[in-house]
């Protein structure tokens, strides 16, 4: 997408999902994360570091909130009234929710963050000027800013040999975030095209979903009704373009975080379950 | 190969010793010559044929970041390995890989790797040539009496274990010390004594309820990725599996429990007996099958007594017993906090008794079957050999010690006086990738290739239905030409010790290639030797169907696992807790794992002491206070954090940090709680009683910032993680 195209069709790109979104999507990547079998082990997060050239910032910068963990696993304690958390901890893998009505997009003064025909909320690194408005506007706090040129310290030789050549190493002054492993999507699409076929469910998955020891994370094309992710959304009666889910069976699990803000996230979470003993 | 070797010793050389009658029809190799073997070394290590610029290719190998033996795929592009993933062909990890497995890349590309051999000259380690280093080693070995040579390693299996054993055999030594700080030795010992096998299969996926006394099977116990997969099935059964975890400090498994209860370290055996008592009294479970001493123990510990001694509510105990009776089959497990006492064996035996009482033996605890290749099964470590090694050193029985895959200098409690014992071992050889504490104290350092540059075979102690022989192959050329694989070093040493049998092998690859050729054809499958070898490399494993065995249960009689419940002394129990990540300290030099927040506390890059807020209030300690934690054998100063996920009489300091030397990411960071442990032994197994140390805690009136992920510990009313009661879940998607 060129900047010209973006500017001349600005109103189209700003069209809300109530009005049908901005155009026909090729794919709409989405996820389902089952919090009942997520154990909070951190495998997803580390896989993300490996796949996406995430910088290790060290303790001092971590303290300042400058960690670059695109996918972080939050841990909450829910039973603060008790002497002990008898039902354990609440773990939440939190990454960019690839909102269909992303609040980060309209505030970017240079259109560095925009929506792709895949339904992704993309970040154009070499267009980004580092205003950080997007991060400020993100209710999930999943955008990470390069306050430093991390490549100077994060990958002393030969650690740099591990860097994934399919994506960049970002420089100082640039915002970055989870891309749903866009490089994996791109190669899978290219491969399917070379083989003259359509992309099928299971052709591609993200690094986090791949690593997960309990397979709590399911990734796929939400628009492909045969995909596992679409089936899960249907099973749990969760849909897009609403601020409150209307379920035939309201007892079913499945919700989107902060959907009441009308950001229309692409990740469905399934409730954690606990049995009271 | 000379023609004088008989078939039996040939099998032993090749690591297939112990083959049962069922697999006797093995051929001596006729198809592979050594010359062919040598050529193949070249073809697999020369990347040119495989490189297509811009295209990543996945190769199969085996992860060695812990001893679970997960199958790994490595993505190789332009001759570099870039990403590791689980091997879907492996029934151990079914395509998934934990954070330590992911971070294996950072050990391989670590900037602090040892790049050339070193020898101690004038008190300092200086770089020397391989020839000089190996000549010195060989000279010292041949000058020593056979039984003065020792190997000190971590758990080893496959052909590496076979070769270490053969090396010691050739020298006439039995000194193989196997050390793992994170182990389940006491559990294995109890299983062995009651069920006849040390590592029975645990069917978490089939259990309706799991009661785990400190067995962190999702984090640090035995085979975490395998058990995580089983756990997902356990939760997704028609009736969602129920998990109850009882332990001194919340583990990752505890954090996922439906009910988590804090226990006083060492009281778990009593709780198990109390539950047995209730099962007998209220639920008609038959205890007459047990020896009378055990029966009287069960009768002694009725619910009221146990409640009074352990602080766990009587109603709770009764409810747990009731649920265990109702949700059959169940599974009862015991981990490090139960094992880690002078009477740990008794406590674990009490836990195992519950499995028999509940009818779990044969249903959720199955026989692992008979693996035909005993030599390959290898050796699993515990902490007992740390005592044995130090004793042998003190007695001046050792002249040469080889160290590999273990860091006893770091792991030994200060009270064992490891350093002065080691002074009695005149020649120490470390085969290592990094200059850790043990390596830095060696006389010769042989630089090790990383596991992504080396050959190997691995047979994990715990196996799923199919026994997996994990095949490890180099995923790229060596980063440093001066590093050698363990197998190559072993072949070199064996050539010196037993020239007749090993001189024919150019290197470890040639040996492994021949070993494969010699593998009984029933085991390696159909096809020519060439085909089965290529299949093994492509798949990264060879599946062996183990011989069928039935478990039988025989109760061991055990003594009272009475706990040290004395809380009159104003001291706390020290829990040296294990982290999935830094593990026993071996991964402290991997920056991804340092920066990955601890799953429970969410701290990064640091050591800390977890204290219950009520205890902290009594001691005047706040979050970030630097406290002095003092045992009879030393003290550490560490920052306190306040968490309710711990028993009020316990202070937990995670293992892994406090390295004096281990590269830039690990050095001088945090403290090592192992140093201040009492050198108490578990009486029956000789293991180190890791949870039996009492400490006094004082505030130093200094404080430091606690660096952790997330600013809020609660959801503050937001719908982030929504919890649904199980009743609603069963209505909406159960059966």
Confidence of residue B38 (pLDDT cuts 50, 70, 90): very low
Residues 437-466 of B with CB under 8 A from A: none
Mutate to test the interface with B, among A35, A88, A93, A184 (most CBs of B within 10 A): A88
Residues B349-371 have a mean pLDDT of 95
Dist. CA B505–CA B5, nearest whole Å: 14
Would you say residue A275 lies in a domain? no
CB atoms within 10 A of CB A244: 8
| Chain A contact present for B709, CB below 8 A | yes
Whether the per-residue pLDDT at B22 is higher than 50: the answer is no
Contact A86 B260 (CB under 8 A): yes
Q: Does B723 touch chain A (CB under 8 A)?
A: yes
Q: For B48-105, write each residue's pLDDT tens digit.
A: 555 677 788 899 999 999 999 999 999 998 889 999 999 999 999 999 999 999 999 9
By the CB < 8 Å criterion, does B36 face chain A? no
Compute the count of residue pairs across chains A and B with CB atoms less than 8 Å apart: 268
The boundaries of every CATH 2.40.40.20 domain in chain B are 572-703
Q: Which residue of A has its CA nearest to B601?
A: A75
More reliable by pLDDT, A215 or B30: A215
- Residue A277 located in a structural domain: no
Q: In chain B, list all ranges with CATH 3.40.50.740.
A: 118-181+373-447
Ramachandran region of residue A201, left (φ > 0), alpha (ψ -120 to 50) or beta? beta
DSSP string, chain A: --HHHHHHTHHHHT--GGGT-SS--S--EEEEEETTT-----HHHHHHHHHHTPPP--HHHHHTT----SSEEEEE---TTSSS-TT--EEEEE-----TT-TTSTT-TT--EEE-TTS-EEE-TTT-----HHHHH-TT--EEE--S-GGGTSSTTTGGGGS-TTS----TT-EEE--SSHHHHHHHHHHHHHTTS---TTS---HHHHH-TT--EEEEETTSTTSHHHHHHHHTT--SS-SS---SSTTS--B-TTGGGT---SEEEE-EEE---
Choice among B41-45, B553-557, B691-695, B715-719 with the minimum mean pLDDT? B41-45
What does the DSSP 8-state code read for residue B603? B
pLDDT of residue B687: 97
Question: What's A241's domain CATH number?
Answer: 3.30.70.20
Q: How far apart are CA B314 and CA B274, in angstroms?
A: 9
Q: Is the pLDDT of residue B44 over 80?
A: no
Is the CB of B264 inside 8 Å of chain A's CB atoms? no
Which residues have a Cβ under 8 Å from the Cβ of B212 and sit 6 or more positions away?
B243, B244, B245, B246, B247, B253, B257, B332, B333, B334, B335
**Least CB-CB distance to A257: which of B720, B724, B732?**
B720
pLDDT of B524 > 90? The answer is: no
Tell me how many domains chain A contains: 1
- pLDDT bracket for residue B21 (50, 70, 90): very low
> Considering the domain B7-112+450-544, what is its CATH architecture?
2-Layer Sandwich (3.30)
Q: Does domain B572-703 have CATH number 3.50.40.10?
A: no
Sign of CA dihedral A107, A109, A112, A116: positive
Q: Going by C-beta distance under 8 Å and a sequence separation of 6 or more, which residues neighbour residue A246? A: none
pLDDT digit string, tens, across residues B462-510: 998 889 999 999 999 999 999 999 999 999 999 999 888 899 999 999 9
> Which architecture does CATH list for B118-181+373-447?
3-Layer(aba) Sandwich (3.40)
pLDDT for the residue A11: 63
Whether residue B24 has pLDDT greater than 60: no
Would A276 be classed as within a structural domain?
Answer: no
- Cβ pair B260:A84 closer than 8 A: yes
Cα A125-A128-A132 angle, rounded to 5 deg? 120
Q: Are B178 and B154 in contact (CB under 8 A)?
A: yes
CB burial string A45-82: b at 16+ within 10 A, e below: bbbbbbbbbbbbbbeebbbeebbbbbbbbbbbbbbeee
Q: What is the pLDDT of residue B344?
A: 96
The reply to whether B732 touches chain A by the CB within 8 Å rule is: yes
Give the B window 99-128 contacts with A, CB below 8 Å. 99, 101-103, 105-106, 109-111
CA separation for the pair B442, B431 (Å, rounded): 10
Q: In this complex, is the C-beta atom of A111 within 8 Å of any C-beta atom belonging to chain B?
A: no
Compute the distance between CA of residue B496 and CA of residue A137 in angstroms, rounded to an integer. 69
pLDDT digits (tens, 9 = 90+) for B531-541: 999 999 999 99
Q: What is the pLDDT along chain A (277 residues), one digit of tens a residue?
A: 567 776 776 666 555 555 655 557 889 999 999 999 999 999 999 999 999 999 999 999 999 999 999 999 999 999 989 999 999 999 999 999 999 889 999 999 999 999 888 889 999 999 999 999 999 999 999 999 999 999 999 999 999 999 999 999 999 999 999 999 999 999 999 999 999 999 999 999 999 999 999 999 999 999 999 999 999 999 999 999 899 999 999 999 999 999 999 999 999 999 999 999 9
Give the tens place of pLDDT for each residue, B111-133: 999 999 999 999 999 999 999 99
Confidence at residue B10, expressed as pLDDT on a 0 to 100 scale: 75
> CB–CB of B96/A213 below 8 Å?
yes
Q: Tokens in use for B414?
A: 């200060």
Q: Is B518 exposed, middle or buried (0-12, 13-18, 19+ CB in 10 A)?
A: buried
Task: Give the percent of chain B with pLDDT over 90.
Answer: 83
Residue whose entry in the numeric block shows the structure tokens 């849909």? A239
- Nearest chain A CA: its distance from B48 CA (Å): 18
pLDDT of amino acid B155: 96
Q: Quickly state the pLDDT bin for B32 (edges 50, 70, 90).
A: very low
DSSP state of B648: T
Interface touch B719/A62, C-beta < 8 Å: no
Q: If you write DSSP's letter for every residue of B566-587 in order, what string do you get?
A: ---SS-EEEE---BTTTBTTTT
**Residue B556, pLDDT score:** 78
Point out the least confidently predicted range of B164-168, B521-525, B579-583.
B521-525
Tell whether the model's pLDDT for residue B110 goes beyond 80: yes
Q: Give the pLDDT score at A15.
A: 59
Q: With beta carbons less than 8 A apart as the criterion, state whether B276 and B300 touch.
A: no
Q: Choose, out of B591, B598, B711, B734, the residue to mutate when testing the contact with A (most A CBs < 10 Å).
A: B591
Three-class secondary structure of residue B232 per DSSP: helix
Question: What is the ipTM for the molecules in this complex?
Answer: 0.94
Token pair belonging to B14: 């090749």
In a domain, A118, yes or no: yes
pLDDT in tens, B624-636: 999 999 999 999 9
Bridge-based pairing state of the strands B365-366 and B201-202: antiparallel
Contact A78 B720 (CB under 8 A): no
pLDDT at A265: 96
Identify which of A273, A276, A249, A234 has the alpha carbon closest to the alpha carbon of residue A34: A273
Strand pairing report for B456-458 and B467-472? antiparallel
Tell me if chain B has a CB within 8 Å of the CB of A58: yes
Residue at A103 is within a domain:
yes
Contacts of A212 in chain B (CB under 8 A): 96
> What CA–CA distance (Å, rounded) separates B406 from A92?
35
Place of tokens 């051929």: B27
Question: Domain range spanning residue A139?
Answer: 3-270
Which candidate from B109, B235, B721 shows the least CB-CB separation from A92? B721
Provide the angle, in degrees to the nearest 10, between the axes of the packed helices B344-357 and B268-282.
30
Structure tokens at B531: 């085909």
Whether residues B95 and A162 touch (CB distance < 8 A) is answered with no
pLDDT at B31 over 50: no
- pLDDT given at position B553: 85
| Residue B355 to residue B276: CA distance in whole angstroms | 10
Q: Which of B645, B646, B622, B633 is nearest to B699 (CA)?
A: B622
Query: Within 10 A of B420 (CB to CB), how many other CB atoms are there?
Result: 11
Put simply, whether B712 touches A (Cβ < 8 Å) is: yes
Confidence at B571, pLDDT banded by 50, 70, 90: confident
Q: Which of A67, A74, A213 sits opposite B595 (nearest CB)?
A: A67
Please answer yes or no on whether B723 and A272 come within 8 Å at the CB atom: yes
pLDDT of residue A24: 73
B84 closest CA partner among B95, B70, B96, B72: B72
pLDDT of residue B5: 64
A24 vs B57: CA distance, rounded Å: 34
Interfacial A residues in 126-155 facing B (CB < 8 Å): 154
Kindly determine whether residue B724 and residue A253, on different chains, have CB atoms separated by under 8 Å: yes
Question: Which has more pLDDT, A162 or B34?
Answer: A162
**∠ CA B644-B648-B651, rounded to 5°:** 90
Q: Which of A230-244, B5-19, B384-398, B634-648 has the lowest mean pLDDT?
A: B5-19
Q: Residues 174..233 of A with a Cβ closer than 8 Å to B: which?
A: 207, 210-216
Q: Rounded to whole angstroms, how far apart are CA atoms B64 and B401? A: 23
- Cβ distance A79 to B248 under 8 Å? no
Average pLDDT value over all residues in chain B: 92
Distance in angstroms (rounded) separating the CA atoms of residues B59 and B44? 12
Helices B158-171, B486-497: axis angle to 10 degrees equals 20
Query: Could you give the residue range(s) of every CATH 3.30.200.210 domain in chain B?
Result: 7-112+450-544
In a domain, A237, yes or no: yes
**For B292-315, what is each residue's pLDDT tens digit?**
999 999 999 999 999 999 999 999
Query: What architecture is the B185-366 domain classified under in CATH?
Result: 3-Layer(aba) Sandwich (3.40)
Residues B610-629 have a mean pLDDT of 96
How many other C-beta atoms are found inside a 10 Å radius of the C-beta of residue B351?
Answer: 30
Band (pLDDT 50/70/90 cuts) for residue B9 is confident
Q: What pLDDT, on a 0 to 100 scale, did the predictor assign at position B26?
A: 40
Please give the angle made by the CA atoms of B98, B103 and B105, to the nearest 5 degrees.
Answer: 130
Task: List the Cα angle B74/B78/B83 in 5-degree steps.
Answer: 25
- Given a cut of 50, whether residue B204 has pLDDT beyond it is yes
- Please tell me the predicted confidence (pLDDT) of residue B20: 46
CB A72 within 8 A of CB B712: no
């Amino acid at each position: 997408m060129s900047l010209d195209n973006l500017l001349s069709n600005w109103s189209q790109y700003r069209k809300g999902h109530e009005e049908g979104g901005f155009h026909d999507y090729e794919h709409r990547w989405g996820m389902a994360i089952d919090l009942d079998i997520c154990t909070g082990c951190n495998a997803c997060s580390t896989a993300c570091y490996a796949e996406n050239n995430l910088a290790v910032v060290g303790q001092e910068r971590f303290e300042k909130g400058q960690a670059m963990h695109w996918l972080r696993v939050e841990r909450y304690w829910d039973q603060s009234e008790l002497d002990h958390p008898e039902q354990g901890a609440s773990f939440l893998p939190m990454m960019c929710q690839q909102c269909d009505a992303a609040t980060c997009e309209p505030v970017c003064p240079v259109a560095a963050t925009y929506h792709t025909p895949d339904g992704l909320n993309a970040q154009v690194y070499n267009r980004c000027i580092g205003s950080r408005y997007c991060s400020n506007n993100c209710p999930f706090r999943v955008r990470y800013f390069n306050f430093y040129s991390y490549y100077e310290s994060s990958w002393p030789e030969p650690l740099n040999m591990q860097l994934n050549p399919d994506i960049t190493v970002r420089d100082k002054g640039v915002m970055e975030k989870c891309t749903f492993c866009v490089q994996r999507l791109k190669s899978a699409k290219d491969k399917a095209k070379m083989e003259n076929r359509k992309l099928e469910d299971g052709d591609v998955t993200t690094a986090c979903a791949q690593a997960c020891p309990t397979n709590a994370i399911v990734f796929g094309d939400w628009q492909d009704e045969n995909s596992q992710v679409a089936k899960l959304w249907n099973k749990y009666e969760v849909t897009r373009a609403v601020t409150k889910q209307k379920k035939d069976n309201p007892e079913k699990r499945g919700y989107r975080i902060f959907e009441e803000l009308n950001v229309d996230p692409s990740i469905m979470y399934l409730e954690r379950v606990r049995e009271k003993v | 190969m000379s023609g004088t070797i008989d078939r039996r010793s040939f099998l032993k050389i090749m690591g297939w010793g112990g083959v049962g009658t069922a697999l006797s029809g093995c051929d001596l190799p006729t198809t592979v010559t050594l010359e062919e073997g040598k050529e193949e070394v070249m073809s697999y290590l020369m990347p040119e044929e495989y490189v297509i610029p811009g295209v990543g290719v996945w190769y199969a190998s085996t992860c060695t970041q812990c001893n679970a033996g997960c199958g790994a795929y490595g993505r190789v592009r332009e001759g570099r390995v870039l990403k590791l993933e689980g091997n879907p062909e492996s029934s151990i990890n079914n395509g998934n890989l934990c954070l330590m497995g992911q971070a294996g890349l950072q050990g391989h590309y670590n900037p602090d790797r040892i790049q050339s051999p070193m020898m101690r000259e004038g008190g300092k380690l200086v770089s020397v040539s391989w020839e000089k280093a190996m000549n010195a080693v060989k000279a010292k070995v041949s000058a020593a009496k056979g039984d003065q040579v020792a190997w000190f390693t971590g758990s080893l299996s496959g052909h590496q274990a076979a070769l270490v054993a053969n090396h010691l055999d050739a020298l006439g030594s039995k000194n193989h010390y196997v050390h793992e700080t994170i182990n389940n030795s006491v559990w294995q010992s109890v299983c062995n004594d009651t069920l006849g096998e040390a590592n029975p299969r645990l069917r978490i996926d089939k259990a309706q309820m799991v009661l785990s006394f400190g067995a962190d099977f999702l984090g640090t116990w035995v085979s975490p990725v395998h058990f995580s997969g089983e756990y997902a099935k356990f939760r997704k059964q028609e009736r969602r599996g129920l998990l109850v975890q009882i332990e001194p400090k919340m583990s990752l498994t505890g954090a996922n429990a439906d009910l988590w209860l804090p226990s006083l370290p060492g009281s778990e055996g009593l709780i198990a007996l109390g539950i047995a008592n209730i099962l007998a009294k209220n639920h008609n479970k038959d205890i007459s099958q047990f020896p009378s001493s055990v029966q009287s123990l069960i009768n002694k510990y009725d619910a009221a007594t146990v409640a009074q001694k352990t602080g766990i509510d009587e109603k709770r105990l009764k409810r747990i017993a009731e649920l265990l009776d109702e949700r059959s089959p169940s599974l009862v497990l015991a981990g490090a906090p139960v094992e880690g006492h002078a009477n740990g064996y008794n406590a674990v035996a009490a836990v195992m008794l519950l499995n028999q009482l509940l009818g779990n033996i044969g249903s959720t605890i199955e026989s692992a079957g008979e693996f035909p290749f005993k030599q390959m099964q290898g050796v699993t470590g515990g902490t007992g050999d740390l005592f044995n090694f130090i004793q042998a050193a003190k007695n001046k029985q050792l002249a040469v010690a080889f160290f590999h895959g273990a860091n006893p200098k770091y792991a030994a409690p200060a009270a064992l006086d490891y350093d002065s014992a080691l002074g009695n071992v005149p020649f120490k050889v470390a085969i290592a990738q990094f200059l850790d504490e043990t390596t830095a104290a060696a006389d010769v350092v042989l630089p090790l290739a990383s596991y992504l540059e080396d050959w190997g075979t691995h047979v994990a102690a715990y196996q799923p239905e199919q026994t997996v022989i994990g095949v490890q192959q180099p995923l790229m050329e060596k980063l440093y030409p001066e590093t050698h694989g363990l197998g190559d070093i072993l072949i070199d040493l064996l050539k010196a010790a037993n020239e007749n049998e090993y001189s024919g092998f150019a290197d470890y690859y040639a040996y492994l290639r021949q070993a494969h050729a010699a593998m009984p054809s029933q085991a390696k499958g159909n096809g020519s030797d060439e085909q089965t070898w290529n299949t093994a490399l492509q798949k990264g494993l060879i599946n062996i169907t183990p011989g069928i065995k039935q478990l039988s249960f025989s109760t061991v009689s055990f003594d009272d696992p009475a706990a040290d419940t004395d809380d009159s002394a104003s001291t706390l129990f020290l829990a040296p807790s294990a982290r999935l990540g830094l593990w026993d300290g071996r991964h402290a030099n991997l920056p991804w794992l340092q920066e990955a927040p601890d799953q429970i506390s969410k701290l990064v890059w640091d050591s800390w002491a977890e204290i219950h807020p009520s205890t902290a209030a009594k001691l005047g300690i706040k979050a970030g206070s630097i406290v002095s934690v003092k045992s009879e054998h030393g003290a550490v100063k560490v920052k306190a954090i306040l968490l309710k996920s711990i028993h009020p009489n316990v202070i937990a300091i995670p293992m892994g940090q406090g390295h004096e030397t281990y590269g830039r990411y690990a050095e001088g960071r945090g403290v090592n709680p192992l140093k201040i442990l009492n050198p108490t032994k578990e009486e029956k197994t000789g293991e180190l009683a890791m949870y039996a140390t009492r400490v006094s805690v004082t505030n130093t009136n200094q404080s430091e910032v606690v660096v952790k992920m997330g600013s809020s510990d609660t959801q503050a009313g937001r719908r982030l993680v929504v919890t649904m009661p199980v009743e609603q879940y069963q209505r909406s998607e159960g059966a």
